[in-house]
Amino acid sequence: MMELALIKTLLDREFYNQHKGIRCPDKIFSKDVRKIKQALDAAMETYDSDFTVSDLQAVFNRINASMTTATRTAYEDLFKRIEIAEPIKQEIANDTLSQLFQQHVGDRVANLGFDFVNGTENSLEPLRKLLEEYKDDFTPNTRIEWDDHSFDTVLALSQQETRWKINIPPLADRVEGISGGHFIVVGARPNTGKTSFHASLIAAEGGFAHQGAKCILLTNEEAYNRVVLRYIGASSKMCIKEELPNNIALARSRYKPVADKINIKDSTGKDMAWVESVVKQERPDIVVLDMGDKFAPPNSNDRPDITLRIAAIHARNIAKEYNCAVFWMSQLSAEAQDKTAPNMSMLEGSKTGKAAEADLMILIGMSAEVEGEENNGMRYINIAKNKLSGWHGRIPALLDVKRGIYRR
């Protein structure tokens, strides 16, 4: 019985003190349990020590010494049930008591309103007095366990900010690494090198997979096998079309350490709720959402930019809740075409929503004169937002297009 379990939970003095008085009136309990709650209030008011169920029963019997034998027997049964009841987790008990309290106030408000409508009361003054009585007590009680902000703890946590080292030389000079809880937005125009970017970070020499990170790739843009080929190229340092066919054994041996650390899933048509369920089950260190925008809930009544921001908030919360780094791959709008220094306002679909949530935002640009030239891979890595190291600016980098690897 929920009421009896609540009584047992209220035997904890610290928890009781958070709920005593107006926030936990007797009337939220049924008639029989209400008397036990009254005995508990009297005991807490009179004694300083902690209470057992037997202690509470002794106080109850003293207060209600004139009970009939039948009544005493009935209450003995209730106390036995309290004794064997499992205390409710305090977070749940807190929410339950708050809900019961608000229902109690709601009932009183409804009754006073009913009396006024039916002429029993000719004034709303009783309602005003009731609301004045409770004032701000409508808000739920909150039990906060404050975060440890001691010197040693904060210093240790700050040293974990770069757990997974960046292996792309020009970027590593500005951003040493990432860690669980980080939300990274990577944007570029189509065919500029987004997939090669996360393939380099994870699969190329010194990448996250080689460092031991468990990585999951959730793709809804390219066919998953084409994404895997990029990873094979990055890990093997081989051109898939020209070099790999003649070096299968070597390529396989170089790819194996990466394959052991990554899982990939074609996620077409999935949403962020599904993403969270996967992360909760797999507990990865690194999550790549390619493309992140397509995980926004379909058929939403909200504007597209609002929908994308909600999805980005969800992704950031996943990063924090499950202590993983989440990469959100995103398209840049046509405004970024042929730009070597795109900015965050060029993010497609949401100029501020995704940007607001990001710890790190990397926008990849390329100039018009090299676009379409297969052998010229000059790219410009623009750090548009950086809460990790604070550095902002543009870094030239060379994309080895055939092997899918970013170099200095």
Report the percentage of the chain scoring pLDDT > 90. Answer: 36
Tokens of 238: 């081989």
Residue 146: predicted pLDDT: 76
Instruction: Report the top-level CATH class of 156-407.
Output: alpha beta
Tokens of 344: 């965050």
Is the full-model pTM beyond 0.75? no
Q: Where are the domains of the chain?
A: 2-134, 156-407
As a whole number of angstroms, the distance between CA 378 and CA 373 comes to 10
Residue 186: predicted pLDDT: 96
* Model pLDDT for residues 272-303, shown as the tens digit of each residue: 989 999 999 999 999 999 999 999 876 555 67
- By DSSP bridging, strand 360-365 and strand 183-188 are parallel
Q: State the alpha helices, DSSP H only, in 85-240.
A: 90-117, 125-134, 151-159, 169-172, 194-203, 224-236
Q: Looking at residues 151-156, what average pLDDT do you find?
A: 74
* Model pLDDT for residues 115-149, shown as the tens digit of each residue: 778 777 777 777 777 666 665 555 545 556 777 77
* Model pLDDT for residues 62-86, shown as the tens digit of each residue: 989 888 989 989 988 888 988 888 8
Residue 374: predicted pLDDT: 47
- With a cut of 60, say whether residue 174 has pLDDT above it: yes
Average pLDDT, the chain: 84
State the angle between helix axes of 248-259 and 224-236 in degrees (0 to 180), rounded to the nearest 10: 110
Higher pLDDT, 230 or 158: 230
For the chain, how far is it from start to end, CA to CA, in angstroms? 67
Report the percentage of the chain scoring pLDDT > 70. Answer: 90
- Tally the residues of the chain: 408
Q: What are phi and psi of 223, to 5 degrees?
A: -60, 140
Amino acid at 361: M
Those residues whose C-beta lies under 8 Å from the C-beta of residue 195, and which sit 6 or more positions away, are 221, 222, 227, 230, 290, 329, 404
